[in-house]
Amino acid sequence: MKKAVYPGTFNPITNGHIDLVERASGLFDQIVVAIGTNRQKTVFLSVDRRVDLARQVLSHLDNVEVCAFDSLLTEFAKQKGASIILRGLRTVADFEYEFQLVGMNRALEPDIETVFLAPAEHLSYISSTLVREIISYGGDISKFVHPVVARAMMDEFGQP
């Protein structure tokens, strides 16, 4: 069984993330969407809220599990029985950072491979950071996130 872990903060989960999981669900037997607590990032939504939203928007995929983690990614992948780390690439800048992570993860756990997928072209410019910025100014994020996520973000920002 090919099991992949797709880690991220998903703060919030975007249409680009959803697209990547949907396409990956046809490539792997099981995908674990691992919502992390990155100590270098300031998160807007609680980890429980991010897990709940991801479960809602990915519920149509039978081979996807969503859970939180707060450990080294390689340790979490081993715990889940995954031999693959799935990462999304949007830009060349993403690749530089991701390439460093591959080397570090390989040094920590040589038996775990990293696989990269790019989102569909029409979604490649979407990032959680930009979604948060747009909504913080009262902008419409409905083109970038699932309606459930848009509603949750509007509630968080006190928008009607």
Alpha-helix runs per DSSP H in 58-127? 73-80, 92-108
Q: How confident is the model at residue 60 (pLDDT cuts 50, 70, 90)?
A: very high
128 is catalytic: yes
pLDDT for the residue numbered 41: 65
pLDDT for the residue numbered 38: 67
Q: What is the pLDDT of residues 29-39, one digit of tens each?
A: 999 999 998 66
Helix (H) or strand (E) holding 84: strand 84-88
Q: What is the mean pLDDT of residues 56-71?
A: 97
**What is the residue-averaged pLDDT of the chain?**
93
Catalytically annotated residue among 25, 50, 87, 128: 128
- Cα angle 76, 78, 81; round to 5: 110
Q: How confident is the model at residue 77 (pLDDT cuts 50, 70, 90)?
A: very high
Q: What is the mean pLDDT of residues 76-83?
A: 97
Asked if CATH classification 3.40.50.620 holds for the domain at 3-124, the reply, yes or no, is yes
Pairing mode of beta strands 3-8, 64-69: unpaired
90 is catalytic: yes
2 is catalytic: no
Lowest mean pLDDT among 107-111, 137-141, 155-159: 155-159
What order do you get walking across the sheet with 84-88 strand by strand? Answer: 64-69, 30-36, 3-8, 84-88, 113-117
Q: Does the pLDDT of residue 42 top 80, yes or no?
A: no
Q: Which of 67, 135, 70, 98 is CA-nearest to residue 127?
A: 135
Catalytically annotated residue among 2, 41, 122, 143: 41
Q: How confident is the model at residue 78 (pLDDT cuts 50, 70, 90)?
A: very high
Catalytically annotated residue among 55, 78, 90, 151: 90
Q: pLDDT: is 5 or 90 the higher one?
A: 5
